Homo-oligomer: A and B are copies of this chain.
Amino acid sequence: MAKPTPLSGFPEWLPAQRIVEQQILRIIQDTFELHGFAGIETRAVEPMDQLLRKGETSKEVYVLNRLQATEEQDSSKDKQLGLHFDLTVPFARYVLENAGHLAFPFKRYQIQKVWRGERPQDGRFREFYQADIDVVDAGELPFHYEVELPLVMAEAFAKLRPLGVPEFKVLVNNRKVAEGFYRGLGLDDVEGVLRNIDKLDKIGPEKVAALLIDEVGASQQQAQLCLDLASISGSDETVIDRVRELAAANNVSHELLDTGLDELGALLRSASRRAPGTIEANLKIARGLDYYTGSVYESVLIGHEDLGSICSGGRYDTLASDGKNTYPGVGLSIGVSRLVSRLLSKNIVTSSRSVPTAVLVAVMDEEHREDAQAIAAQLRARGISTDVAPVAAKFGKQIKFADRRGIPFVWFPAGVNQNGEQITHQVKDIRTGEQVEADPTVWTPQEQDLIPAVRAAE
């Protein structure tokens, strides 16, 4: 067959790149588990009627058909399956399906691929990894989780910094603040206002004001006040004071506004004590999805603002409902592929190896292959990733085999070497050229050499 070509929108990584992705995924997962989130996986498919709820038809869903299925089998609409386009819809379904077997509040993480048939472009894929955390409760969900969850994400990104991942900041707003402010101002089409405020970065304040006047029926002054609110940002509580001043100066008051400001203030206070500088209020954050009801989160990678938000989410009073019970939740989702793709394509982060291997055991001649394998087994028993040379080539060629893959150590087994000399076990650090005698039952590399070093590219 001819050489295949990549499929646009379906990223795949070379082995060294995959090591970068794996270490990032592992750090994210470990952070989630450290905070007590239970890992679940849901199937890749959902019934189409599930996927098309909540006005999500704008997402391009991939619909499945079995190649050999008869027309009759696949025609009934309710059985038609599609690939999930996020991890929230499947999670809501999972909660309802298993509610009787789950302990609430239920903290879960989910790291899986999702699919969207959208036109691929920079940072937008048709297949990509998401890493989600959500807390869902039955009936009531305590507010403090709205503080906890963005801090968990901030912690995960802080742990990615040593790998060369740029600085990360969570931007937070509160739907109640926005809604209370608009209603207090006399604008009851809250969704209409939010939808237009959401366009601020794209079209600028003047055009947003015009839209608020034309589409939402705002007066010139109401539109200006919406823009004034959206212009407020900062990481300390003075943000709350500024909103209160703006409202007071214009006789805007509403119960929701007060509740929202209390919540936003509590979040900023707690965040500034526990993780200073990682969370910032930004009153223009709107988030398109209409089911958010409290805190809403976006985030930026400093220096890569053009990527858009790589970690977003919010609080929703109704993640799921089966008529009897309602399940409120709060959650955030990292766009892992978008992040990894940027780190790799801009050569920001690299791996020192294309394999997990720390040691290559050289093979003197094919008759002594089992000696080499015995040494490898001894090293592996201590958790050292070890490979054995594929053929008993000249040692120079075997060293080259290691070098090509970034394997730092080559082990020369005791015996008669290729120059006819009797040698003891020796191990060579091929980065420095240093070669020392070593005992396969005790020798261990330094911890930082056990796994590939993933770090900022130089």
Partner-B contacts on A (CB < 8 A): 1-7, 10-15, 18-19, 22, 33-45, 47, 50, 53, 60-69, 81-83, 93-94, 96-99, 101-103, 105, 107-108, 113, 115, 117, 127, 137, 142, 144, 270, 273-274, 320-323, 354-357, 369-370, 373, 377, 380, 383-387, 390-391, 401, 404-405
* Chain B residues in 8 Å Cβ range of A94: 12
Evaluate contact between B38 and A356: CB separation under 8 angstroms. yes
Evaluate contact between A96 and B36: CB separation under 8 angstroms. no
* Chain B residues in 8 Å Cβ range of A370: 270, 273-274
| Given A6-B97, A36-B356, A61-B66, A42 and B12 contact (CB-CB distance below 8 Å) | yes
Give the complex CA separation of A82 and B66 in angstroms.
Answer: 9
Evaluate contact between A356 and B7: CB separation under 8 angstroms. no
* Chain B residues in 8 Å Cβ range of A101: 14
A368 to B: closest C-beta gap in Å: 12
| Given A66-B63, A387-B107, A355 and B97 contact (CB-CB distance below 8 Å) | no
A126 to B: closest C-beta gap in Å: 9
Evaluate contact between A405 and B66: CB separation under 8 angstroms. no
Evaluate contact between B15 and A322: CB separation under 8 angstroms. no
* Chain B residues in 8 Å Cβ range of A44: 44, 113, 115, 127
Evaluate contact between B14 and A98: CB separation under 8 angstroms. yes
Across the two chains, which residue of chain B brings its CB closest to A451? B33
A63 CB contact (under 8 Å) in B67, B113, B390, B405: B67
Evaluate contact between A322 and B2: CB separation under 8 angstroms. yes
Across the two chains, which residue of chain B brings its CB closest to A275? B377
* Chain B residues in 8 Å Cβ range of A1: 53, 96, 320-323
| Given A43-B12, A355-B107, A383 and B63 contact (CB-CB distance below 8 Å) | no
Give the complex CA separation of A6 and B45 in angstroms.
Answer: 11
Evaluate contact between B93 and A4: CB separation under 8 angstroms. yes
* Chain B residues in 8 Å Cβ range of A42: 12
A432 to B: closest C-beta gap in Å: 22
Across the two chains, which residue of chain B brings its CB closest to A31? B380
A96 CB contact (under 8 Å) in B4, B137, B323: B4
Other than A43-B127, A45-B127, give 4 A-B pairs with Cβ distance below 8 A.
Answer: A1-B96, A1-B320, A35-B385, A36-B357
User: Mind listing 17 A-B residue pairs with CB under 8 Å?
Assistant: A5-B97, A7-B43, A12-B41, A12-B43, A13-B40, A13-B41, A15-B38, A15-B40, A19-B39, A33-B385, A34-B356, A34-B384, A43-B127, A44-B44, A61-B67, A62-B64, A63-B66
Across the two chains, which residue of chain B brings its CB closest to A117? B66
Across the two chains, which residue of chain B brings its CB closest to A45? B10
* Chain B residues in 8 Å Cβ range of A82: 67
Across the two chains, which residue of chain B brings its CB closest to A155? B380
Evaluate contact between A377 and B274: CB separation under 8 angstroms. yes
A79 to B: closest C-beta gap in Å: 9
| Given A66-B62, A127-B45, A354 and B38 contact (CB-CB distance below 8 Å) | yes
Give the complex CA separation of A322 and B383 in angstroms.
Answer: 38
A3 CB contact (under 8 Å) in B4, B12, B96, B103: B96
* Chain B residues in 8 Å Cβ range of A144: 369
Q: 4 tightest CB-CB pairs across the interface, nearest first?
A: A36-B387, A66-B117, A10-B43, A36-B357
Evaluate contact between B385 and A15: CB separation under 8 angstroms. no
* Chain B residues in 8 Å Cβ range of A377: 274
* Chain B residues in 8 Å Cβ range of A321: 1
